[in-house]
Structure 1
């Protein structure tokens, strides 16, 4: 079977658009639920107290715990023990007591099971320091949407207290292999509530979200060669995008959702092409004798970053999204792959081989300064959160594959670890429009 792998990638390490090791490594089935473990201490974490919601024991989801984990995973908050305090969204709290506990903010709420089986979830946020009511909301949701309600509450709190948009109600996608079967999953931003979008006996690689969050592009080997499909997340319907002679791989969406940059070998070696999201004849972007692959657009759509070995070893380059002159971006080390650009355009995340270890790097594009932000050695496939404040990536932890999120400084990490599950190729979805 033909592989989508450029020859210069290490066969023992998976990369976006690369399949050799994905097929070779036996993997246990993923569980639909993960345990979130937050580690690290940030320098400017805001202390927040989340009192257990009144009657949340009647709910199959512990709303306050989900909110607390979301906020702590962001790296911007640390939890304050609420003790045995009892309150809900109607309570006027004693701020002096909470100030003595060193809480800067406070959240209380309630969960009420309605007669039709739905749940009424309400909350209120308080600024303890200023003794100010920061408002609240209520959601009436079916049981299946309780976690989404909790994530939306966390988004509200995050935005009110930081001035930035929260990402907790966004989604992740990733791929697992188990029992000879590959599965493409869509999950909450914390890795929980995973739903199978596609299953196949052949490899599925390189999932990439559309800007609207309604579609996933991915590469399937069910035709015994790499072929690109577009998959509607809500309905499960899909359509073929690219099945040209040779390899069709590494799809990435333009910011307007009209086109995708892809890697095709239809005219010989692996080169970059632009193809309409509705299909049709692709337009070639690179004209090199080298391997050009792993394209990603800049947020404004004006540039494409990609990996090429045109300098003798894989490095990250940039060019206009219409093609033309190419500029080298990475210079530290002789092996840099898997580029991901933050939605605010400030940061480039990528994986670098350093002394035999594959480590996540973050570059500030304006200055060119690079920081290595992990202590692991098998990092893969970084993908930014839509607010540019977190990165999800795959790695190996304790001898097992896992997904991790990290702040850009590497100080706060959260492991999304399935018990017996192996996870790879994560992609963080956009804000819902």
Structure 2
């Protein structure tokens, strides 16, 4: 009974603090850790080029991350914890080895390949278990957590809610940096801290260069899941490719795809035995009639971008094609097929991992592959726009009113009754100025000191 109470208390504290997955879609963490699992895997791969958040947090906050990991192991009843990270993160490995001594936790060393941080790959590399196509790690008795998520869990157990996020600002900026900012800080404000004030002729990617999205409105706020801002010229090949209209992408596929199948042979999900063959999907761009089963393959695509940024010798975009087909199938209510019962990893999987150094060179990012030192300095932010939906599930409901004074850490929005969601807290002290699908807080003199 005592263990049950402890588990329920842990989960409730995580829920109260508004902890969500900090490195992905923002799935509410209190739901994830309420499951029973044999293993808790820490996804410390940080495989997206240029991002530097997790590798530095694992070093300087190793003790707090391990405390969060131990808490999740207690909550899930897991018998082992596994920290999966790359061999090149030498400082982090040294720090973590000290913290896990005497605990049922091991370090699993990953190679420097992309996309090592894909949940399915991380689990396979760490445990040898194959997550079924379309499934989640829990299907093979694993719970996977991001590094910053575990740090937020450790804070939650001390009564500290999620009010800030760590992110790397890099690319064409004077001072690449990794820092902690209040949730709701505008992208423009964040870029100023890295010394970038002139954005004429520039585009900004939120996230990594492979899976991140180009930001159209630089006044938009950062959220609990923002891990990187990358500034590049509009003439950079990566930006030019990302901004091509889909009509152009489809026409290029119709004209230029030579069915070489490199996109399939290097597809990380295909190599894990998933029913996806991108070269066959590209073939359907010309002839869709009678190709329903082939089109449904796109539902197994993780949109990692290996096919378009590394594999295709013709410079085509199978990822973009898959993404559009997935959208169309979703509108028709077509869901993924049941995973194959005989799913097995391809024998060539171990030989077809994409080296990050080569990927960086292929992306034209070699000159930007530099350190972005972590700063714990508190940067003054006078106004934040905190989105009510910055996590998987339903938008949170505001429980404050316009004109109300709040302090940093105050609860300002809650999960709707019986819905999937997460609590939201004030990230600065100030006055509530506006409530729409976001809550805008402006600081008052001396209130956020």
Question: What TM-score, normalized by structure 2, do the two folds share?
Answer: 0.27
Q: Which has the higher contact order (CA 8 A, sep 6+)?
A: 2
**Bigger helix fraction:** 2
Question: What TM-score, normalized by structure 1, do the two folds share?
Answer: 0.28
**Bigger strand fraction:** 1
